[in-house]
Amino acid sequence: MEYLPIFINLKDQLCVVVGGEKAASPKIALLLKAGAKVKVVALELSPAVAELVDQSNVIHQSAPFSPQDLDQCKLVIVAEDPSVSAKEVAKAAQERNIPVNVIDNTELCSFILPSIVDRSPVQVAISTGGTSPILARELRAKVEAMLPQSYGKLATLLGRFRSRSKELFQTSLERKKHWERIFSSRIIEDFLAGKEEQAQEALEQEFLSPQMSLSKQGQVCLVGAGPGDPDLLTIRALRQIQSADVIVYDRLVAPAILEYARRDAEMIYVGKKASQHVLPQEQINQILVDLAKEGKNVVRLKGGDPFIFGRGGEELEMLIQAGVDFQVVPGVTAASGCGTYAGIPLTHRDYAQSCVMVTGHLKKGELDLNWQSLVQPMQTLVFYMGLSNISVLCRELQKHGMSPDMPAALVERGTTKNQRVFTGTIANLPQLVEETKVKPPTLVIIGNVVSLQKKLSWFHPTGD
Ligand code: SAH
């Protein structure tokens, strides 16, 4: 090991930054965050450093560096500039046994600063031993994405129970086992998912009468998988998928997203195609309830957003009725994903003040829509499941006063590498569907915003 990682308490301690170059400003900010008293020794300050000095309680000494500047100092950082001899400062610091870091000059450093993922009081420090700061930055981005924002809050909460754990259990082994049980229960995940009150109560209960409330109940997490591109998953969706015991998924969920599941996770396909339900909804609901009652951590994965034409609400009602606990993670819905990847902004100050999401799916054999409300100026219409009734759709819109020249687009398999986009007008849209042989999933976008498509189109995949 080249370096020993340690965390140092600098609260109210004097730290000296020598040099006023721009590179000094993030270091000064870091020291301030750690509660240090900062003194900057520099003849001149760059605007970034000057701003920090103005805004915070930073002392600025504009005389040249002299070793006495390090009196009482606990830590030195040097941002080299033409007026600073880093070697001289480093030597003075080493003579006084003060840790010193010279930015971008590892040889003169007695300590190096890591890349930091800050979820205070939880902190992750990453170092490549000074070999490659860019690699450390990459690693940091990965860890950032992995660690829920509320880890800090969680740590604070758990900290409050530490002394109670000591009162409750005599040995450290017992305490450890108890904490492990808490971590394997739902309490932690509930807390991270925002059910903070519930989690705190459960923890409270657990410390009043250990083991009582920790029966491993399962739960269902309704997760939106987005429109296709796996990179459009939310961080929380990814975390849920990665930790699920069972994944119950639809046809619209991209295979690449299923790859994120644990190797030993059970995968249950309940895919639906228009008018051809592989499993009736009641049966899907029952599967979810049964799995959760077995104590499984179930992810119900749906294309797009589960609350937009996803029957998510119905599934939740059923879960509530059965007394099964749940959470919901939103996803990028097809309207948003397809519009963006096709180059069609759904609203625009010159073309559309509103956007309506409409189902083109027949209910009881009829397309019973409020046509008049759909035919409004400055409005974009987005039809989900509109393909099989495209002729009725376009006919009714015209009948209710929409101009036959109204621009319209078909976005097939939007956001995926097989995306195809076709534009026309509502007069020729049914013909366009026939000619291009577009298949579901296809989104129909109607409105003047479609006229921007040619100009704004940017996503041009080359297919498989
Ligand atoms: N809950 C989903 C919608 C499910 S309804 C969501 O929020 O996106 C299914 C319809 O969504 C399809 O018939 C199609 O019209 C549309 N759709 C979903 N994904 C799509 C995609 N990648 N490209 C085009 N249309 C899509």
Domain ranges of the chain: 14-113, 152-208, 219-329, 341-456
Give the CA angle between residues 258, 188, 241 to the nearest 5°.
5
DSSP string of 410-441, one letter each residue: EEESTTSTT-EEEEEETTTHHHHHHHHT--SS
Ligand 1: residue whose CA is nearest its atom 6:
304
For the chain, give percent helix, strand, coil, nearest 5.
40, 20, 40
The fold for domain 152-208 equals: Helicase, Ruva Protein; domain 3 (1.10.8)
Torsion, Cα of 383, 385, 386, 387 (10° steps): 140
The model's confidence at residue 131, banded by pLDDT at 50, 70 and 90, is confident
Q: Which of 69, 190, 229, 250 is labelled catalytic?
A: 250
Q: How far is the CA of 273 from the centre of ligand 1 (A)?
A: 11
Please say whether the beta carbons of 445 and 381 come within 8 A: yes
Name residue 246's amino acid: V
Q: Do domains 14-113 and 341-456 have the same CATH topology?
A: no
Which atom of ligand 1 lies closest to the CA of 413? 23
Please say whether the beta carbons of 383 and 444 come within 8 A: yes
Q: How far is the CA of 333 from the centre of ligand 1 (A)?
A: 7
Ligand 1: residue whose CA is nearest its atom 11:
384
Please tell me the pTM assigned to this model. 0.80
List the structure tokens of 426.
């509502």
From 275, 381, 384, 412, mutation site for ligand 1 pocket: most ligand atoms within 8 A of C-beta: 384
List the structure tokens of 331.
């996803």
* Paired strand residues for 77: 17, 101
Separation of alpha carbons 172 and 427, rounded Å: 76
| pLDDT above 70 for 295 | yes
Q: How far is the CA of 220 from the centre of ligand 1 (A)?
A: 22
| pLDDT above 60 for 274 | no
Please say whether the beta carbons of 314 and 425 come within 8 A: no
At 272 the pLDDT is 58
List the structure tokens of 221.
């997490």
The model's confidence at residue 285, banded by pLDDT at 50, 70 and 90, is very high
Q: How far is the CA of 6 from the centre of ligand 1 (A)?
A: 50
Which atom of ligand 1 lies closest to the CA of 419? 23
Q: How far is the CA of 308 from the centre of ligand 1 (A)?
A: 9
* CATH fourth-level superfamily of 341-456: Tetrapyrrole methylase, C-terminal domain (3.30.950.10)
Beta strand spans in 192-277 (E): 219-224, 246-249, 266-269, 272-273, 276-277
Ligand 1: residue whose CA is nearest its atom 5:
309
CATH of domain 219-329: 3.40.1010.10
Which atom of ligand 1 lies closest to the CA of 444? 15
Burial class (CB in 10 A: 0-12, 13-18, 19+), 453: buried
Distances in Å between the Cα of 383 and the Cα atoms of 303, 334, 408 are 16, 10, 11
Task: Say which residue, 140 or 216, is predicted with more confidence.
Answer: 140
Residue 213: alpha-carbon gap to chain centroid: 31
The model's confidence at residue 33, banded by pLDDT at 50, 70 and 90, is very high
Which atom of ligand 1 lies closest to the CA of 361? 13
Q: How far is the CA of 363 from the centre of ligand 1 (A)?
A: 17
Residue 298: name the closest of 271, 328, 274 by CA: 328
pLDDT digits (tens, 9 = 90+) for 318-369: 999 999 999 999 999 999 999 999 999 999 999 999 999 999 987 777 788 9
- Tell me how far apart the terminal alpha carbons of the chain are, to the nearest angstrom: 46
Ligand 1: residue whose CA is nearest its atom 13:
385
Q: Is the dihedral of CA 133, 139, 140, 141 positive or negative?
A: positive
| pLDDT above 60 for 277 | no
The ligand 1 site (C-beta within 6 Å) comprises 227-228, 252, 302-305, 308-310, 333-334, 338, 384-385, 411, 413-415, 440-443
From 249, 252, 338, mutation site for ligand 1 pocket: most ligand atoms within 8 A of C-beta: 252
Write the CB contacts of 301 (distance below 8 Å, at least 6 apart in sequence). Answer: 223, 225, 241, 247, 248, 249, 250, 253, 257, 258
Give the CA angle between residues 188, 193, 197 to the nearest 5°.
70
Separation of alpha carbons 289 and 324, rounded Å: 7
Mean pLDDT of the region 278-307: 92
Separation of alpha carbons 159 and 203, rounded Å: 12
The fold for domain 14-113 equals: Rossmann fold (3.40.50)
**DSSP character for 325?**
E
Least confident of 175-184, 298-307, 322-331: 175-184
Catalytic residue check, 250: yes
Query: For the chain, how long is the longest CA-to-CA vector?
Result: 89
Q: Which of 27, 37, 272, 302 is labelled catalytic?
A: 272
Q: How far is the CA of 305 from the centre of ligand 1 (A)?
A: 9
